[in-house]
Amino acid sequence: EVELVQSGAEVKKPGESLKISCKGSGYSFTSYWIAWVRRVPGKGLEWMGLIYPGDSDTRYSPSFQGQVTISADKSIRTAYLQWGSLKASDTALYYCALPSGGYSTPFDYWGQGTLVTVSS
Amino acid sequence: EIVLTQSPATLSLSPGERATLSCRASQGVGSTYLAWYQQNPGQAPRLLIYGASSRATGIPDRFSGTGSGTDFTLTISRLEPEDFAVYYCQQYGTSPWTFGQGTKVEIK
């Protein structure tokens, strides 16, 4: 059974760094892209980018390019989303998701979400 | 980027009624690349429809999707209590992939 398990909720101050994780199981981790999606209350869902853990090929939405870093460690079947300097506007619920059909396919598996709160 | 505009923002209906949700794209989307998701409070989104009209695994046949080009529709033929949720359309054919802002289906 395919499963994506994300790390727990985080409360951070503006300017702090953060790395959240998404561990995949039940499938060949290096053979499928993993995407990150943000949900901001009142703004719906936003696709941030995705990574192919097999060769670390990474694509970003222009809205998030330079704002976050997506990475993966295939030895522990885990993808990451990280910030170097958080802003209050990064407060959101973040999901990892798996398009099991390949690059241009819908997200049929989702993690449970990681709530990130940035507040002074 | 392709902007997806969903309407209405909120749909107030009773159980057993038919729901019709619209998703309009700012430019043409290949029908192969349009999906619908359902999100209930506290849960991750769930894939309902892909390729504009194909139901995902385990999705009841009261959910159906139609459309092509720039206009797409999700229809729920008879609303069940568990169908009251937020629905999003998504295009995944042209990067950046984009989502609509969502339609909330609420109990009238």
Asked if B44 lies within 8 A of A45 by C-beta distance, the reply is no
Residues A51 and A34 sit within 8 Å (Cβ to Cβ): yes
Q: How far is B16 from chain A (nearest CA, A)?
A: 27
Asked if A108 lies within 8 A of B47 by C-beta distance, the reply is yes
Residue B40 pLDDT level (bands cut at 50, 70, 90) = very high
Asked if B50 lies within 8 A of A106 by C-beta distance, the reply is yes
Angle at B97 between CA B95 and CA B102, to 5 degrees: 155
Residue A43, pLDDT score: 82
On chain A, the residues whose CB falls within 8 A of the CB of B96 are 47, 61-63
Residue A41, pLDDT score: 80
> What is chain B's mean pLDDT, rounded?
95
Strand partners, A59: A50
Burial of residue B50 (number of CB atoms within 10 Å: 0-12, 13-18, 19+): buried
Mean pLDDT of A31-44: 92
Residue A88, pLDDT score: 96
Cis peptide, bond prior to residue B8, ω within 30 of zero: yes
Q: What is the pLDDT of residues B48-84, one digit of tens each?
A: 999 999 999 999 999 999 999 999 999 999 999 999 9
Residue B104 pLDDT level (bands cut at 50, 70, 90) = very high
Residues B100 and B34 sit within 8 Å (Cβ to Cβ): no
On chain B, the residues whose CB falls within 8 A of the CB of A63 are 96
Residue A25, pLDDT score: 96
Residue B32, pLDDT score: 82
Strand partners, B108: none
Q: What is the pLDDT of residues A64-111, one digit of tens each?
A: 999 999 999 999 999 999 999 999 999 999 999 999 888 999 999 999
Question: Mutation test of the interface with chain B: which of A48, A104, A112, A115, choosing the one with the most B Cβ atoms within 10 A?
Answer: A104
Asked if B99 lies within 8 A of A47 by C-beta distance, the reply is yes
Asked if A104 lies within 8 A of B92 by C-beta distance, the reply is yes
Q: What is the pLDDT of residues B22-32, one digit of tens each?
A: 999 999 997 78
pLDDT over 80 (residue A42): no
